[in-house]
Amino acid sequence: MFQTIVNVSKLIIGLLHKHSRFLLNLFLISLVLCFCLHPLRFASHYNYICPEKIPFELEPAYFPKKNACMIVVATQAHLQLFYPDKKPLEESQFLAYRLSILPGGQWRPQRCQPLFNVAIILPYRNRQIQLLIFLNYIHPFLQLQNLDYRIFVVEQTSDKEFNRAKLFNVGFVEASKTSNFHCFIFQDIDLIPQNLRNIYACTKLPRHMSSSVNTFRYNLPYTGLFGGAIAITKHLFLQVNGFSNVYFGWGAEDDDFYNRLQSKGLPVTRFSPEISRYFMLSHRKESPSITRFTHLEEASKRFNTDGISNLQYRIISHQLQPLYSWILVKI
């Protein structure tokens, strides 16, 4: 019996020695997988506004003395409306008529006095189907929240690389010419909100709205992320001089804006992960800009001189579409 144990031990040691490189690689791969898939790798433990505290953190634009609109309390039936599926899309004119949307994508509740006045800014280029899907979902969503809102689609001409951040700045300036909006939401059109309690209004501090996206398994990849969909009041946006104008191509403009907020002592807030859920529509990935890291490294030197303060552009067309205000701009 003892000799059998010795022989088996020698066999195992021999196999381990023979296949040591393979076993080492297998062990390293296992470690990498554990790191990548472990939930603590993601920033789900970030501080967030608890659902019961949301009404106290929101920043109203109006203070009606009577008949104020109630802040939304979602039902499960409502939540199921906002999961993208094979539901047929409505034609723009019909949807605008059915939902009583004014030309230019304007709407406000008639049965109560709204608390929030919001401009939603969407940068755009060559994503017609995504835009139609977004508009079909977002208008009913916003109306159930009893908001006074207007949607602006800012399209860039095709002569230069796409500059998402500068289009946000253009949208801010042009929207401000039409009304004294209190709150601005800057959002990509490929993100669909999935929880009606994710109020499309501003909080006292800048808010990262899309902190829980399906492509990240509904986790926040890192606490400094401030892209996708954000909400910020007009006076705070002006305080940080808006977005940078130098980021042509994909990447880093969100990190630049986050750093601007930090430089002014403005922490980012978020609602809880179950409320901040978004579904990302499929789309072709853009190639990263080769200059993004250089611009980001030098960003702090430009905070006061690069943004709303030096914004230059030319409006090619400005039209009131049934579901949105369309601004075609050369930058």
Task: List the chain domain ranges.
Answer: 1-37, 46-330
What does the alpha-carbon distance between residue 190 and residue 283 come to, in Å, rounded to a whole number? Answer: 8
CB atoms within 10 A of CB 104: 18
Could you tell me whether strands 212-213 and 277-280 are parallel, antiparallel, or unpaired per DSSP bridges? Answer: parallel
**Check whether domain 46-330 has CATH 3.30.1950.10, yes or no:** no
Predicted pLDDT of residue 40: 42
Predicted pLDDT of residue 241: 98
Predicted pLDDT of residue 12: 55
How does pLDDT run along the chain (331 residues), one tens digit per residue? Answer: 555 555 545 555 565 565 566 655 655 566 555 545 444 445 556 789 998 999 999 999 999 999 999 887 655 555 554 555 556 788 999 999 999 999 999 999 999 999 999 999 999 999 999 999 999 999 999 999 999 999 999 999 988 999 999 999 999 999 999 999 999 999 999 999 999 999 999 999 999 999 999 988 898 888 888 999 999 999 999 999 999 999 998 888 999 999 999 999 999 999 999 999 999 998 677 677 778 878 888 888 999 999 999 999 999 999 999 999 999 999 9
Predicted pLDDT of residue 46: 76
Predicted pLDDT of residue 38: 46
Predicted pLDDT of residue 294: 85
Predicted pLDDT of residue 44: 58
- Contact, 191 vs 213, CB < 8 A? yes
- Contact, 58 vs 71, CB < 8 A? yes
Backbone angles phi, psi at 144, to 5 degrees: -70, -20
Predicted pLDDT of residue 116: 97
